[in-house]
Amino acid sequence: MTAAATFAAVFAALFAAHSVGDHWVQTHGQACTKGAPTAAGRLACLGHLITLTATKAAALAALALVTGLTLHPIALLAGLAVDALSHYWADRRVTLARLAERIGKGDFYRLGAPRPGTTDAPHLGTGAYALDQSWHIGFLFIAALIIAA
């Protein structure tokens, strides 16, 4: 398989696994707690990261099994690590919010956020959610480049 075809297949697998892992595998508790500036928040984010990365690894294993694609183990681990670290960084939420403010996207980040004091998840269907997902997809691209290299 050519490097371009390997990249495309890896990116597709990572993209699909990301969507499943970020929305179906992640628990409600992880989603609601992972951004808290506490030990519980850090642990919830770490738990989400572990299951998300396992989902992506399973998708890549299925891809390799079905297609016969061979991935270099070091490139695979490096790509998954870059993706995992970037995902953890963004999902702590305050980090992505600060970046959005710094680059002039703060108003967009807050778009659609619920009123303070509500139990709604402000990161779903909002500017924060859109910036979060685009951050993750950008790093899926980088991870696929690393894995396919």
pLDDT 10s digits, 109-122? 988 877 677 666 65
Pure H helices in 27-126: 28-33, 39-67, 73-91, 94-102, 106-110
CA 24 from centre of chain: 13
Structural domain harbouring 30: 3-112
Q: Does residue 57 lie within any of the structural domains?
A: yes
Pick the closest to residue 64 from 76, 47, 52, 49 (CA basis): 76
pLDDT value at residue 131: 94
| pLDDT of residue 100 exceeding 60 | yes
Angle between helical axes of 3-20 and 39-67 (0-180°, round to 10)? 140
pLDDT value at residue 64: 97
Q: Domain count of the chain?
A: 1
Q: Does residue 137 lie within any of the structural domains?
A: no
Residue percentage of the chain with pLDDT more than 90: 85
| pLDDT of residue 68 exceeding 60 | yes
pLDDT value at residue 119: 61
Pick the closest to residue 128 from 54, 56, 120 (CA basis): 120
Q: Does residue 131 lie within any of the structural domains?
A: no
Q: Does residue 144 lie within any of the structural domains?
A: no
pLDDT value at residue 102: 98
For 10-21, what is the mean pLDDT?
A: 98
Q: Does residue 40 lie within any of the structural domains?
A: yes
Q: Does residue 100 lie within any of the structural domains?
A: yes
pLDDT 10s digits, 71-93? 999 999 999 999 999 999 999 99
Q: Does residue 61 lie within any of the structural domains?
A: yes
Task: Grade residue 128 by pLDDT with cuts at 50, 70 and 90.
Answer: confident
Task: Grade residue 123 by pLDDT with cuts at 50, 70 and 90.
Answer: low
Q: Does residue 10 lie within any of the structural domains?
A: yes
What letter does residue 115 receive in the DSSP assignment? P
